[in-house]
Amino acid sequence: MSEVTEHAPGTFCWLDAGTTDVDGAKRFYGEVLGWSFNDVPMGEGVFYSMTQIRGKDVGALYPQQSPMREMGVPPHWLCYISVKSADEVAAKVEGLGGKLMAPPFDVMEAGRMAIVQDPTGAAVALWEPRKHAGSVVVNEPGATGWFELLTTDTDKAQAFYAGLLGWTAKAEDMGAMIYTVFSAGEKQVGGMMKIGPEMGPMPPAWGAYFVVDDCDAAVARASRLGGKTLVPSMDVPTVGRMATLQDPQGAVFSVIKFEMPAS
């Protein structure tokens, strides 16, 4: 078990997905990742459904609003980074070449957030915690174990996150690609790789890896429930076995069975 009560500034702390079919997404993720759900009212007839393991929060699902659908934004997972001050960090975004998609705003008493887009086009949320620190369960089956940026310009992205969050970066030549690991202080917080031609015309994006006991079994469950396999199960030396999937509504996520427990 791996439960936390806070997330250090500069580390990923939460994720949620706006979806066109919350009930369908619940059925899918409930079976694929073993989630249960706690529906929190967020308006008349609308709920923010906390996804849970052992009754502890992992992330959330919510109904995608009409403006997003009309803009053609597909269902997707949004990753959140913990910060001391959403206003102070958001104020640096445009000067570093990014865009402020949603200026800082209060989320009731839970916290204060902003949504930003890095210079390559990937979106990420900033979260200033108040009553809600973020995910309670991490690095165990059903919870997040890693976050990864796929981008068209790794140098530009690296400079942006270094200036915005103080992240340092270490690049490793893995033969077929260069993989960069971001760290906040001594803690590794996520990875980055360049979108290759073999990936097709995909936009830059941050994605999450959920830990599973058996990667192949999770892929089989997802397929049976109407999901798509975007990257078949593959072994990554010294890391584990992973696959990238798409839920029936269109949101993309990855699953991983680590060779060793995630740190």
Distance CA 199, CA 64 (A): 26
Whether the CB-CB separation of 162 and 177 falls below 8 Å is answered with no
Q: Would you state the pLDDT for residue 263?
A: 47
Segment 102-113 shows an average pLDDT of 96
Domains of the chain: 12-129 (3.10.180.10), 144-258 (3.10.180.10)
Residue 71 confidence (pLDDT) = 67
Q: Which residues of 173-189 are buried (b: 16+ CB within 10 A; e: fewer)?
A: eeeeeebbbbbbeeeeb
Q: Are 180 and 154 in contact (CB under 8 A)?
A: yes
- The pLDDT of residue 36: 98
Q: How many CA atoms lie within 13 A of 247 on its CB side?
A: 28
Burial of residue 159 (number of CB atoms within 10 Å: 0-12, 13-18, 19+): middle
Q: Mind listing the pLDDT tens digit for each residue in 176-217? A: 789 999 999 999 999 999 997 777 778 999 999 999 999 999
User: For 125-152, what is each residue's pLDDT tens digit?
Assistant: 999 999 999 999 999 999 999 999 999 9
Output the pLDDT for position 238: 87
Residues 63-105: tens digit of each pLDDT? 987 666 666 678 999 999 999 999 999 999 999 999 999 999 9
CA distance 205 to 71: 17
Q: Between residues 38 and 1, which one has the greater pLDDT? A: 38
